[in-house]
């Protein structure tokens, strides 16, 4: 099964999503998008397939978002894409592609909505939160 994750190894959410993919017995194609950013066309296609706006995929925290004035509502999608191409850190992550769809997996457990394989056992996020119980089912949330 082909699964692709646009991944930042320095991001806990991205690492947790990768862990959940692997907990389903799947070794995904990992694209470290800061080293190998998607092309403008591919990014536009991913955004379209997610069914979200370009702004929905822009990361503000820890990026030059404010310095570039990207919060201005007059900024067009094309200008936003230009900024994302010039500064890939603006692309929010992780974006996961599976046979069931494409999703920005924030929080990380949203990857479960598009994974076609079941979880194989318990999974805890890096902070210790149980996401999948020992039977491979989503843990109850508080």
Residue 142, pLDDT > 60, answer no
Contacts of 44-47 spanning 24+ positions with Cβ under 8 A: 44/81, 46/6, 46/95, 46/97, 46/102
Instruction: Measure the CA–CA gap between 15 and 70, rounded to whole angstroms.
Output: 27
Give the residue numbers marked as catalytic: 11
Instruction: Return the structure tokens found at 27.
Output: 């070794």
pLDDT at site 12: 96
Q: For residue range 57-81, list pLDDT tens digits in order.
A: 999 999 999 999 999 999 999 999 9
Residue from 84, 112, 130 nearest 24 by CA: 112
Question: Where residue 39 falls among pLDDT bands split at 50, 70, 90?
Answer: very high
Q: How many residues does the structure list for the chain?
A: 142
CATH number of the domain that residue 81 is part of: 3.40.30.10
Q: Which of 15-19, 36-40, 84-88, 132-136 has the lowest mean pLDDT?
A: 132-136
Which three-class secondary structure state does DSSP give residue 8? coil
Alpha-carbon torsion (62, 36, 97, 68), positive or negative: positive
Give residue 59's domain range: 4-132
pTM: 0.94
Alpha-carbon torsion (58, 32, 117, 108), positive or negative: negative
pLDDT at site 141: 64
Instruction: Return the structure tokens found at 19.
Output: 């862990």
14 belongs to a structural domain: yes
117 belongs to a structural domain: yes
**How many structural domains is the chain composed of?**
1
Q: For residue range 8-31, list pLDDT tens digits in order.
A: 999 999 999 999 999 999 999 999
Instruction: Measure the CA–CA gap between 81 and 92, rounded to whole angstroms.
Output: 12
Residue 140, pLDDT > 80, answer no
Neighbours of 84 (CB within 10 A): 25
Q: For residue range 95-131, list pLDDT tens digits in order.
A: 999 999 999 999 999 999 999 999 999 999 999 999 9
């Amino acid at each position: 099964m082909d699964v692709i994750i646009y991944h930042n190894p320095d991001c806990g959410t991205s690492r947790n999503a990768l862990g959940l993919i692997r907990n389903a017995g799947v070794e995904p194609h990992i694209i470290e998008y800061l080293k190998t950013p998607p092309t403008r066309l591919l990014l536009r296609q991913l955004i379209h397939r997610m069914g979200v706006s370009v702004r929905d995929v822009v990361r503000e925290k820890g990026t030059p978002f404010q310095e570039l004035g990207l919060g201005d509502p007059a900024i067009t999608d094309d200008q936003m894409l230009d900024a994302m191409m010039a500064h890939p850190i603006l692309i929010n992550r992780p974006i996961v592609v599976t046979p069931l769809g494409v999703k920005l997996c924030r929080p990380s457990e949203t990857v479960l909505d598009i994974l076609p394989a079941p979880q194989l056992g318990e999974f805890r996020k890096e902070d210790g939160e149980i996401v999948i119980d020992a039977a491979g089912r989503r843990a109850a949330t508080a």
